[in-house]
Amino acid sequence: MYQTIFQPLEWGGLTLKNRIIFAPTTLGLSPEQEEQLLGRIAAGGCAMVIVGDVPVGRHGPHSLYHRKGMAYYRRLCAAIHAGGALACAQLHQSDTDLLWLLGQAPGVLLGRIKPEELRSRLNRQAGPYITGLPARKVTRITTSFGPAAKLAREAGFDAIQVHGDRMCGSFSSALLNHRQDLYGGSPEKRSRFAVEAVAAVRRALPDIPIDFKLAVRQENPHYGNAGVLLEELEVFVPRLEAAGVTSFHVTLANHGSLTDTIPPRNHPDFGGQGCFLPFCDRVRQYTKRPLCGVGGLSDPDFIEAQLASGRIDCAAMSRQLIADPDWSQKVRQGQVSEIHRCLRCNRACLGGLQQHQGVHCIYEKENQG
């Protein structure tokens, strides 16, 4: 009944054993908890786990350049591989102005700036920050994706995803990027950061699959502030493909409300199954490379139909596989009625992250039992 879901897929030189992928997710968990969760999700039968937020730089607790960071990623990859899935590193560069952020610390500590207000301020500050970066520093950042990809490969990752949001997304967006040099202005120039980052990975690792998280923003109604306008896809997609991208992971751009990029069931525009798949339809006009769809996916019948029609080639889930890591096994074994369906309530996942408790699920105790 679900033949397409479990049909292998050639994906940038690798073979995915099926079409189900764990989407990159900021988990906010301890290293031990993250290792346990990602290993559990891999053992549940998905084809690949994308590990989110792997920094390309030398700073931060999980830098690939540090012994502890490398050990951390090796453990994650080992746990994912032990579960029978491939491991993909989502390389990213933050667009947070750290000096500016330090200046906000007194207001946060004194309670004058609430967490949601701080996030809103951070989003607004991304534009001035990336607009003011010296060009030589921008080039150093894009070049750094290459060495980071090599280190990720040494850690055990099978593939690389370039995060098309964060700094990539800010450079892509005319709303945030007001530069007047080679990195700003026309869509061709605004794509330069992303193209250079991809090209750096391709030079460092000529044969590795390079997935690109393509962050799309739209108007009428307005959603997303970073990323690529739908009308600009005809420029960005071919240029990224020429630089070395072998597949696209298509979703809504960030730098807006978290409930837009992680929409609950009652969202006015993104409340349904496959809420971001219309963006895939637009991307499909410009590429024949595999497309991964995401956005409220949980129903096996719906996912099978989208895959069988060729609308998408893979289905990525985060909240659903956190709600039930055994989703793939249960579908394969004809136990669909036993799936713990994600309610898209955002109570323990997004809510847990916002409360600094890490991503969890209302089903968690039952899953552990």
Q: Which residues are catalytic?
A: 166
Residues 224-258, buried b or exposed e (16+ Cβ, 10 A)?
A: bbbbbbeebbebbbebbbebbbbbbbbbbbbbbbe
Closest CA to 119 of 104, 138, 135: 104
Q: How far is CA 368 from CA 4, 190, 239, 361, 362, in A?
A: 30, 46, 45, 11, 12
| Cis amide prior to 8 (ω within 30 degrees) | no
Please tell me the distance from the alpha carbon of residue 97 to that of residue 120, in angstroms, as a whole number: 13
Six token digits for residue 268: 């006015």
Of the chain, the end-to-end C-alpha distance in Å amounts to: 29
Based on the number of CB atoms within 10 Å of its own CB, is 363 exposed (0-12), middle (13-18) or buried (19 or more)?
A: middle
Helix (H) or strand (E) holding 119: helix 115-132
- Token duo for residue 121: 């301020």
Neighbours of 353 (CB within 10 A): 20
